Structure 1
Amino acid sequence: AKAANSPADKSKNKGGRGSKKQVFESYMAFEEVSHGLKRGELIQGQIRINPKKYHEAFVPSPDDTRDIFLDGIVARNRALNGDIVVVQILPREQWKVNCTYLSVYSIVLVCKPDVLNFWPDVTVEDQCSDQDELIRKVYTFIVTENSLSFVLRIVNRHLPFVWQVVYIVEKKHSRAVTGFLKFLPDKPFAMFSPVDHRVPRINVFLADCPEDFSSRPGDYSNTLFICRITSWAADSNFAEGQLAKTLGQAGEIEPETEGILVEYDVDFSEFSDEVLDCLPKNLPWTIPPEEMRKRRDLRKECIFTIDPSTARDLDDALSCKQLPDGNFEVGVHIADVSYFVGEDNALDAIASQRATSVYMVQKVIPMLPRLLCEELCSLNPLTDRLTFSVIWKITPEGKILSEWFGRSVIRSCVKLSYDHAQSMIEAPEKMFSAEELPPADPEHPIDEIHQAVLNLHSIAKNLRAQRFSGGALRLDQLKLSFTLDKETMMPQGCYVYQYRDSNKLVEEFMLLANIATAHHIHSRFPELALLRRHPPPKAKMVDELQELCDQLGIDIDLSSAGALHKSLNTTLGDDEYTTARKEVLTHMCSRPMQMALYFCTGVLKEEPLFKHYALNVPLYTHFTSPIRRYADIIVHRLLASSLSAYFLYKIQKQASHCNDKKTLSKRVQELSSELFFGVFVKDCGPLDSEAMVMGVLDQSFDVLVLRYGVQKRIYCKSVAGLDSFHHRKVGKKSELTLVWTPEDPEKAPEEQVISIFTLVEVQLKADGAPMKYSAMLKRPEENES
């Protein structure tokens, strides 16, 4: 990656600012960083800043056991969330916690097993000797050595204040933020306050502000701006920046949405003429005869799509034909986007840069121009379309007997929604009329389509059962969906999305196709295959979760993906309380999980690292969504055997970019949902709901609001009617005792114990700030009334 800071930064921060006190350390020189990384004295990783406690930041440790903790803004040295940074241990004289005899005594008491297992000169005899002697040895070692491995293994757990950022390798954060302007009398600049507290306040020169801002600052108190950070000097707590755009009134959907897109570096501009010139000119477009001759013609087959009812980019279709021997010919047919997106032209460049379509509540930011997304590549019904097909001969039980890959031509006979397919599954004997379904090809009667759906459902159930009995894991979390007014696009209502058999049917065959494709391209291109791996969860977090569950008396097995899935789905009942508890447990089990990543097989040499943990398969890739994911286009090109060894570096670089864009896209989708729910609470609230406690801190606790599937933090100090509260921790279990002020002065105060899985009643209420809402805890007696 290109270095974001050069050695010049070191001198620049000192020059001309001699009278100012330096807040941050100057960055190391590039050569010094390179040598330090090679010698193992420095550590490189991606910084994550806690959105709820912005003074806390983390960088993954090399051994993946426990994250390195950065305490405070100074320690992260002007790095922003997502940046690739290099960290080092501060010199001992700068440690916040002095290595006194007393603090060493605490270390030995708290983490004696770690000390005994790690310490270089502690013998077995020492373990049985006087504890004061052991403490003396440890203290001497700390005072005389500055050991990186010691801090990694011991101090980072118990004295976590010794790390700092010394270099920014790559500025992944866009440096663009939404926020508000504040007028500062007698200053040549205004203060920009970002909505995201992880970003510093920014000085913006008045000349860059609206013309009448200085004379009428109150007119802009509720105006949302985009500001880009241009610099951040080492002698200032504040960055400097320029206003990029005035978005509009805070709290309105479109300005807030645009702010999210800019902040997360999503390109939502119109496609340029140069890009559009790469598209077919002669419309309506038809498949050239010479292309037809190269492909397997499947247009006579009963092939159909199953998608959300609002979908316009239909990139996958299914077919299922029963054979005379009782087996089935099942096909997955994927839009051949690579036919239209040539390599190294303007269209390919913008697609690779965008890397993914971004799905928000009210709109989609497409990866490709709409002519491709919604027309030429979309597998629209009753239209000839180019595809890549995987066709299996498969038994009713789901055993694969043979497999064929190839380019094809299909003609989808009907566009089914998940609701249509679900109706067919739930009414296997029903004769559906033409009016109950979308327009269909008369060549394929409705009952033929219905039977194909039923056969696919039956096979999918067997495939799914095999996957989970073979050790796969699925952690389903509640997903909030909205109904929108068609004219205003404002939320009219919201509901938790139901994942049904029709969804599972499609998912099962997409997984099967992706797994088959992964094996195919890896066998053909062992050094070039673009695959998707899912690392196992962080071991330390898993151990802590297992310890907590054991203490709570929850019989859960976290030893493997399959064991976790089995225990989540067999140890719980099906009443309302246990259903809620399963949701909370699922969230708890999700926290140690790592993200799945694209990678090039030629870069990651150890094949066991290729494994996908949750799916429990050795090889996996993405093949089934090339309209909305650039990684799938690369996989299609590999399938078409169009790559050579030259592309090794290029594929890995694109894989890393796809990872970044997928992460940002996921966050944008979450923020869009939060935005719409905030509007819904403001317009339709207050909203009452039962909630279950999913985490307890010393002054607050987190709840899962069961009716809406959202998570909120409740701060004890803000709970109305609370007299006092007390926190205690036993082992891994935290408890808060809330003491409510009695409404009747003659009655004694009532206590309420809050711990994991406690059911409470909450009220969601807009709290004054645009788009923000709070969860208010209701009194226990209100729960009973």
Structure 2
Amino acid sequence: MLVKRASAQSVNHKVFVRSTKAGNAVKVYREQYLRDDIPCGSQLCTLCAEISVPDAKGDFPVPVLSSAPNSTTKRGPHYVVIDTNVALKAIDLLEHPGCLYDVIVPQIVLEEVRNRSLPIYARLRALTAGHDKRFYVFHNEFRSETHVERTPGESINDRNDRAIRRVAKWYSEHLAKVKKAPQVLLLTNDKKNLELAHKDGINASTLHSYIAEYKDSGDLLDIIPAEESFTKESQTQIYPNYYSSSQILAGIKNGFLHQGKLQISRYNYLEASVHTEAYPKPLLVIGRESMNRAFDGDKVVLEILPKSKWRSPLNNIADEENVDANIAAENDDGQAIVTDEERSILAKDALNAQHHEKVQPTARVVGIMKRNWRFYVGQVAPESVNDKIDSGALRSVFFVPLDKRIPRIRIRSRKPQALVDQRIVVAIDDWPVYSRSPQGHFVRALGEIESKSAETEAILLEHDIEYRPFPKAALDCLPQEGHDWKPGMNDPLFEKRRDLRDLLICSIDPPRCQDIDDALHARELPNGNYQVGVHIADVTHFVKASTPLDAEGALRGTSTYLVDKRIDMLPTLLGTDLCSLRPDVERYAFSVLWELDQNANIVSVEFTKSLIRSRYAFEYEEAQARIDDASQQDDLTKGMRALLKLSKKLKQKRLDAGALNLSSPEVKVMTDSETSDPSSVELKNVVDTMSLVEEFMLLANITVARKIYDAYPQTAMLRRHAAPPATNFDILNDQLRLRGQPQIDLESSKTLADSLDRIQDPNDPYFNTLVRIMATRCMMAAEYFAAGNFAQPEFRHYGLASEIYTHFTSPIRRYADIVAHRQLAGAIGYESLHASHYMKNKLDGICDNINMRHRNAQLAGRASIEYYVGQMLKDNESLQEGYVIRVFSNGFGVLVPRFGLESVVYLQDICNPDEAELDEDTYTLKIMQDGKSRSITVFDTIKVFVKSVKDNKGKRQVKMLLG
């Protein structure tokens, strides 16, 4: 590293020596400029006022830290320096209006938070951008007195903690020179950091000790992260320690250890799987001891168990109500990792352990590479609150998460009785080796259990959807609300746009769509071919790269659609006004224009930023009716008919190439327009105009993908869908064989598609759809990626049978499309590409986030449907037709197409489970019901009573009983 000082001082520099594979030594220089003119940010400081330098606009920075900072009952006026631990775990406390003002956020803290949690980074950034609480970012890495070098053998975390302590000490010494000097207090919940700070003479405190100094601090103390003194249940270690970093690195390098994402079964939280490159089948992790404190979604390190301990997956469902009651009854001094109920589940499954045909490699967790902790929603377990009246003393109670895969969390509260009937939010602080349960702290209450507002917010939090209002800094990037924006206004590139206002363009969307981001046109050319255009809202004209608005869109990643509301990726002014391609208004667009022959072959293509005026905003069924109406012979209708004709040819070409026609249970919930209460559930009606729009959006995405890849072969924003491993379909093919159905052929997407077409049951028209639903679950998930991360053959989108693909057509609701728009604009020379979109490491981070956000938004949408269907069924028991999709030793999974719901029928509700027998070879469960023998097999059509009940978590869920 070459370290330079901005002022006329000596230059320090450091050389790193790096060896190459050939054994040669390479000297690597890194430069970092250190300055003496970075201000402290205090209004009291006259020294920094003299050295402040103006920004690019000529404005001098306004000091953020108050000249009259807050005091507590035990401490006079003071500033606070926070460490990374506080920023990550106490963000709700930092945002609370009742405490923590005049806060110094060292630059190193901000960087660490950004690397570990983008949502918390965004919230911390919002605090530093506003001035209400006076949060100031101090660039310690660039101030000469506060810059620290990492010493030999020092860990990165220790170096960063030392840098934070240096900041606190420097501030104390620096401000001691001014009149009415305030105290400077370092806040940390890290025991080692606190001890080293005191040893170095730094004024430091834990969060708990500091907040206790506030008057009326009772409520504040409940939302403080747990400190080490709270987490220790016993002196006895009950979980194994994780391997050291050196052991993990060596083990992975030598192939003894493996890493991947832990995925806990939705049917049995005692079973998890991890996909790795080393094994064709996922590694099984069975039992809490083997999971070793890992959470669903954690990136874990695994050690393979001896082959004698390999086994097949669990064949039963965990009965949560019994397990939870068992846990709640245990005292704190209990040492067992598993409860009696869990032990019973594992014991009953022991005979299944060595079922040789289905045995899988089994492993245990020995390390955590990256935690997937988030905010969890649930309720306080009533059994753990012994007193009926809150005494005001801090008490330990159990929190029961809504997510079935998450263990109970121990929290502390002064008013647990008041929280019993509330839906609350909890954050995890730690899971030590001597604690059966993870430790956490109360964040806030959402409202009464089952209230609509609380349950909707719970869905958003459970799926990590950023739903809070857009920060002022982001909104300031837009024209003011009510401002009469017109095309060409303050637009230096307006002359480069192509005027397409003469074209008969229309949009075709779902009912009541407001964020219209795509429109189309078609017209016949003199040579008999067609000019076809896809016109996409030009969102990037308003959302400029590297602005607060862009950062907010990148964080959110996608819009989320719930039954009763939409959580926008971008502010409403953009989505429903300035960017929405509404009819009869001029709008900016990014257009793809093809010349297609009569067989929908591409003759030529061009890309242009454009100015358009849509003629009409159709709903799907409205457009279909107009196309079908022979009396309609206007040019707009003729254009839509041409689009429909060409779209059918495009679709047939895709299917001929092997595109898959998969399926998922899709329904729409109809709600009351005033109360938003659910009134009915309907299957989505499919009309040809849906396919019309889909085909041309696919064509645009494929065409744009080729263009941006040619321009940016390392960093083009693409989307791939990997071919599924053959082992993913082993069980489904085995079930089809027993049913006398053809096998699914995985040689190519074409053979897979053809084999799905051959699977039919003449007595059940839904059977093919059911198999497609089950096949979808065997597929790999599509993902965004930077082109340089894969070889070109791996770009292929298996499901669409396309060699290359991206997302370009929905920039109002997907951030990936915004990146593709910017890259396309650079590729055609419209404007230069921002550095963040051609730097591979930056794009990798963007892809990781939007892949996660896209998945979460889908899950949140499904959870919203499930909640509303549950509300509709809470006063009704309905007899419906269902299909058996899985069988276990103590129950079976059923899909009810009428409601698009999947649930479990537990044997204990319909018969004596001890008399049941599971035949895993035939996927058949034999039960005795009312003195009669009955067999239940996968694919069976059965009648089930469907109703909605509250579970022991206060969550309303669908319960099914055999009809």
Question: 1:322-471 residue pairs with structure 2 within 5 A?
Answer: 322-425=524-627, 427-431=628-632, 447-471=634-658
Gap regions ≥5 residues in structure 1: 107-153, 432-445, 742-748, 779-785
Work out whether 1:23 is the aligned partner of 2:211.
no
What is residue 168 of structure 1 aligned with on the other side? 368
What is residue 434 of structure 2 aligned with on the other side? 235
What is residue 204 of structure 1 aligned with on the other side? 411
Deviation string for 1:606-651 (max 9, x for gaps)? 2111111111111000000000010110001100113358511111
What is residue 500 of structure 2 aligned with on the other side? 298
- Identity across matched positions, percent: 33
Relative to structure 1, the CA distance from residue 654 to residue 335 in structure 2 (aligned partners, 3 Å threshold; closer, same or farther) is same
Question: 1:593-672 residue pairs with structure 2 within 5 A?
Answer: 593-604=779-790, 606-641=791-826, 642-643=832-833, 647-672=839-864
Out of 273, 283, 292, the position equivalent to 2:472 is 273
- Alpha-carbon shift at residue 337 of structure 1 (Å): 0.8
Work out whether 1:706 is the aligned partner of 2:897.
yes
Work out whether 1:774 is the aligned partner of 2:956.
no
What is residue 579 of structure 1 aligned with on the other side? 765
Moved more, 190-199 or 298-307: 190-199
Question: 1:46-57 residue pairs with structure 2 within 5 A?
Answer: 46-57=261-272
Work out whether 1:192 is the aligned partner of 2:394.
no
Relative to structure 1, the CA distance from residue 557 to residue 233 in structure 2 (aligned partners, 3 Å threshold; closer, same or farther) is closer
Kept after mapping to 1: 8 A contact 2:946/2:958: yes
Deviation string for 1:237-284 (max 9, x for gaps)? 112222112112222222111012112221111111111111124811
What is residue 480 of structure 1 aligned with on the other side? 667
Matched AA of 1:52: Y
**Using CA pairs below 8 Å that are at least 6 residues apart, which structure has the higher relative contact order?**
1
Deviation string for 1:548-603 (max 9, x for gaps)? 32332111432222222223234426x6x432211221122122201001000122
- Alpha-carbon shift at residue 500 of structure 1 (Å): 2.1
**In 2: Cα distance, 1:390 partner to 1:3 partner:** 39
Relative to structure 1, the CA distance from residue 542 to residue 249 in structure 2 (aligned partners, 3 Å threshold; closer, same or farther) is same
What is residue 161 of structure 2 aligned with on the other side? none
- Alpha-carbon shift at residue 324 of structure 1 (Å): 1.9
- Alpha-carbon shift at residue 707 of structure 1 (Å): 1.9
Kept after mapping to 1: 8 A contact 2:893/2:903: yes
Relative to structure 1, the CA distance from residue 430 to residue 482 in structure 2 (aligned partners, 3 Å threshold; closer, same or farther) is farther
**In 2: Cα distance, 1:489 partner to 1:301 partner:** 39
Work out whether 1:529 is the aligned partner of 2:716.
yes
- Alpha-carbon shift at residue 2 of structure 1 (Å): 5.5
Relative to structure 1, the CA distance from residue 342 to residue 16 in structure 2 (aligned partners, 3 Å threshold; closer, same or farther) is closer
Kept after mapping to 2: 8 A contact 1:46/1:59: yes
What is residue 128 of structure 1 aligned with on the other side? none
Deviation string for 1:434-490 (max 9, x for gaps)? xxxxxxxxxxxx832222211111111111111101111120222021111111111
Gap regions ≥5 residues in structure 2: 1-113, 118-154, 159-189, 193-226, 313-354, 388-393, 827-831
Relative to structure 1, the CA distance from residue 649 to residue 239 in structure 2 (aligned partners, 3 Å threshold; closer, same or farther) is same
- Alpha-carbon shift at residue 175 of structure 1 (Å): 4.1
- Alpha-carbon shift at residue 397 of structure 1 (Å): 1.8
Describe the SS at the equivalent of 1:224.
strand
Work out whether 1:225 is the aligned partner of 2:424.
yes
Deviation string for 1:694-732 (max 9, x for gaps)? 2222232222213222222212221169994332233xx
Describe the SS at the equivalent of 2:377.
strand
**In 1: Cα distance, 2:805 partner to 2:309 partner:** 49
**In 1: Cα distance, 2:882 partner to 2:462 partner:** 32
Aligned length, in residue pairs: 686
Relative to structure 1, the CA distance from residue 184 to residue 249 in structure 2 (aligned partners, 3 Å threshold; closer, same or farther) is closer
**In 1: Cα distance, 2:912 partner to 2:234 partner:** 51
Matched AA of 1:284: D
**In 1: Cα distance, 2:802 partner to 2:621 partner:** 31
Describe the SS at the equivalent of 2:296.
coil
Kept after mapping to 2: 8 A contact 1:181/1:190: yes
Describe the SS at the equivalent of 2:788.
coil
**In 2: Cα distance, 1:480 partner to 1:335 partner:** 28
Relative to structure 1, the CA distance from residue 736 to residue 569 in structure 2 (aligned partners, 3 Å threshold; closer, same or farther) is same
**In 2: Cα distance, 1:197 partner to 1:473 partner:** 32
**In 1: Cα distance, 2:854 partner to 2:729 partner:** 25
Out of 417, 425, 450, the position equivalent to 1:251 is 450
Kept after mapping to 2: 8 A contact 1:68/1:156: no
Matched AA of 1:473: L
Work out whether 1:506 is the aligned partner of 2:701.
no
Relative to structure 1, the CA distance from residue 192 to residue 666 in structure 2 (aligned partners, 3 Å threshold; closer, same or farther) is same
Deviation string for 1:737-756 (max 9, x for gaps)? 33332xxxxxxx43332112
Moved more, 307-316 or 30-39: 30-39
Kept after mapping to 2: 8 A contact 1:179/1:193: yes
Matched AA of 2:867: L
Work out whether 1:764 is the aligned partner of 2:946.
yes
Relative to structure 1, the CA distance from residue 42 to residue 723 in structure 2 (aligned partners, 3 Å threshold; closer, same or farther) is closer
What is residue 147 of structure 1 aligned with on the other side? none
Describe the SS at the equivalent of 2:765.
helix
- Alpha-carbon shift at residue 18 of structure 1 (Å): 11
Kept after mapping to 2: 8 A contact 1:305/1:317: yes
Describe the SS at the equivalent of 2:737.
helix
Matched AA of 1:657: N
Describe the SS at the equivalent of 1:640.
helix
Moved more, 267-276 or 183-192: 183-192
What is residue 929 of structure 2 aligned with on the other side? 740
What is residue 678 of structure 2 aligned with on the other side? 491
**In 2: Cα distance, 1:569 partner to 1:41 partner:** 43
**In 1: Cα distance, 2:228 partner to 2:244 partner:** 13
What is residue 750 of structure 2 aligned with on the other side? 562
- Alpha-carbon shift at residue 223 of structure 1 (Å): 1.9
**In 1: Cα distance, 2:555 partner to 2:605 partner:** 34
**In 2: Cα distance, 1:369 partner to 1:482 partner:** 26
Describe the SS at the equivalent of 1:631.
helix
Relative to structure 1, the CA distance from residue 230 to residue 408 in structure 2 (aligned partners, 3 Å threshold; closer, same or farther) is same
- Alpha-carbon shift at residue 348 of structure 1 (Å): 0.7
Out of 666, 673, 682, the position equivalent to 2:874 is 682
Kept after mapping to 2: 8 A contact 1:69/1:156: no
Relative to structure 1, the CA distance from residue 22 to residue 460 in structure 2 (aligned partners, 3 Å threshold; closer, same or farther) is same
Matched AA of 1:429: A
Deviation string for 1:117-166 (max 9, x for gaps)? xxxxxxxxxxxxxxxxxxxxxxxxxxxxxxxxxxxxx99964754x2222
Describe the SS at the equivalent of 1:25.
coil
**In 2: Cα distance, 1:255 partner to 1:227 partner:** 14
Matched AA of 1:170: K
TM-score (norm 2): 0.68
Kept after mapping to 2: 8 A contact 1:478/1:497: no
**In 1: Cα distance, 2:961 partner to 2:913 partner:** 12
Question: 1:720-731 residue pairs with structure 2 within 5 A?
Answer: 724-730=915-921
- Alpha-carbon shift at residue 325 of structure 1 (Å): 2.1
Kept after mapping to 2: 8 A contact 1:514/1:623: yes
Relative to structure 1, the CA distance from residue 370 to residue 538 in structure 2 (aligned partners, 3 Å threshold; closer, same or farther) is same
Deviation string for 1:515-567 (max 9, x for gaps)? 10111111111111110000111321224433332332111432222222223
Out of 308, 316, 319, the position equivalent to 2:510 is 308
- Alpha-carbon shift at residue 3 of structure 1 (Å): 7.6
Out of 239, 248, 259, the position equivalent to 1:33 is 248
Kept after mapping to 2: 8 A contact 1:327/1:393: yes
Relative to structure 1, the CA distance from residue 371 to residue 159 in structure 2 (aligned partners, 3 Å threshold; closer, same or farther) is closer
